[in-house]
Chain A
Amino acid sequence: MTRPHSSVSPRLTVVHNEFGDGRKIFGLVSKGWPAALSSLKSYLETGCGLQPSWDEEAAKRAAAEAQ
C-alpha cells in the first residue's frame, strides 16, 4: 500500500504474512524483501537498481548454519 506520507515522499509498506509453520520461509523472505525494496527505491530515484550478491548472502548463511 502506498499513501502520501508527506508532500514529497510516499511511503511503501509491504505485508507478507500467513506463514503458518513456515518459520524457515519467514526467515528467508525477511532477508529478501529489504534487498528487493532497497533496489526498487534506488531504481526509482536514480534509474539504476542494486545488484546485491545473493551468492554472498547464501554463502554467509550456509557458513553460519554449518557452525
Chain B
Amino acid sequence: MTDAASFVPKTVYVTYIAAAPEQIWQALTDPAFTRHYFSGFAVDVEPRADGHFRLLYPDGRVHIAGRVLEWSPPQRFACTWVVKGMQGFDQLPECIVTYEIEQAGGSCKLTMTESHSWDVSEAILAGGRAGWPAILSSLKSLLETGNALAIAMAPPPDFMEAVARAVAEKPWLRSR
C-alpha cells in the first residue's frame, strides 16, 4: 500500500480554465478527451479508490500504470504513476499525481501536483516540468475551443541518462 504521507510535492502546475468542474473532471478521466490532448494516450481508470489507473498507447500497450488513491469527483483525483515499456523506467519508485479542481469565480482552477518519496534529481523532474505545461495547456484549449494543441515533445537533455543513472545507483534505498 502506498503511504501518501511520505511523498513530497516536487512539481506543481496551476492553470485556470473556462469550464465547469465536471467538464474538467471528464477531460481528465475519459479517454475520448485524453486521446486529443495527452500525446495520444487513452486513460483507463477504475472509478474508485484502489482501482487501476493506466495511460494506453493507441495500440493498447501500457505507458503508465498505477492505482487510484483518491477518487472524489469533481474535486480531487490522485493516483500512483509508474512508466512502463521504457528501458529501466519501471524500476524507479512510483510517484503520485494529484489533480485538484476548484471553482474560482467564473472559471475553475486546476492544480496538478507531482510528488515523490525520494530525493529525485532535477534532471528527472525536468521530464515532467517539460511535459505537464504542454499537456495541461492542450487540455485547456480543448475545453475552451474544442481543439487540442499540436505540440512537438521530446525528452529534455540528460533526462534519459539521469533515469539510467538513478536505476543503476538506486539512491532511494540509501535515503530510507
Interface residues, chain A, with chain B CB atoms under 8 Å away = 5-9, 11, 31, 34-35, 38-39, 41-42, 45-46, 48, 50-54, 56-57
CB-based nearest A residue for B111? A34
| Complex A-B: 12 CB contacts under 8 Å | A8-B150, A9-B137, A9-B149, A9-B151, A34-B14, A35-B104, A38-B16, A46-B145, A48-B18, A51-B105, A51-B107, A52-B104
Bound-state CA distance A61–B103 (Å) is 15
Bound-state CA distance A18–B17 (Å) is 29
Q: CB distance B16 to A39 under 8 Å?
A: yes
For B150, the chain A residues whose CB sits under 8 A away are 6-9
For B140, the chain A residues whose CB sits under 8 A away are 38, 41-42
Bound-state CA distance A43–B109 (Å) is 16
CB-based nearest A residue for B17? A38
For B105, the chain A residues whose CB sits under 8 A away are 50-54, 56
The number of chain B residues with a CB under 8 A from chain A is 22
Q: Counting CB contacts under 8 A, is B173 at the interface?
A: no
Known: A45-B144, A51-B105. A38 touches B149 (CB 8 A): no
Q: Counting CB contacts under 8 A, is B1 at the interface?
A: no
From 121 to 154 in chain B, residues with beta carbon under 8 angstroms from any chain A beta carbon are: 133-134, 137, 140-141, 144-145, 149-152
CB-based nearest A residue for B14? A34
For A42, the chain B residues whose CB sits under 8 A away are 16, 18, 140, 144
For A53, the chain B residues whose CB sits under 8 A away are 104-106
Interface residues, chain B, with chain A CB atoms under 8 Å away = 14-18, 103-107, 109, 133-134, 137, 140-141, 144-145, 149-152
Bound-state CA distance A65–B134 (Å) is 33
Smallest Cβ distance from B90 to chain A, in angstroms? Answer: 29
- Which single member of A8, A9, A46, A57 contacts B18 (CB below 8 Å)? A46
Bound-state CA distance A30–B14 (Å) is 9
Bound-state CA distance A44–B145 (Å) is 11
Bound-state CA distance A39–B15 (Å) is 9
Q: CB distance A57 to B14 under 8 Å?
A: no
For A11, the chain B residues whose CB sits under 8 A away are 133-134
For A35, the chain B residues whose CB sits under 8 A away are 16, 104, 109
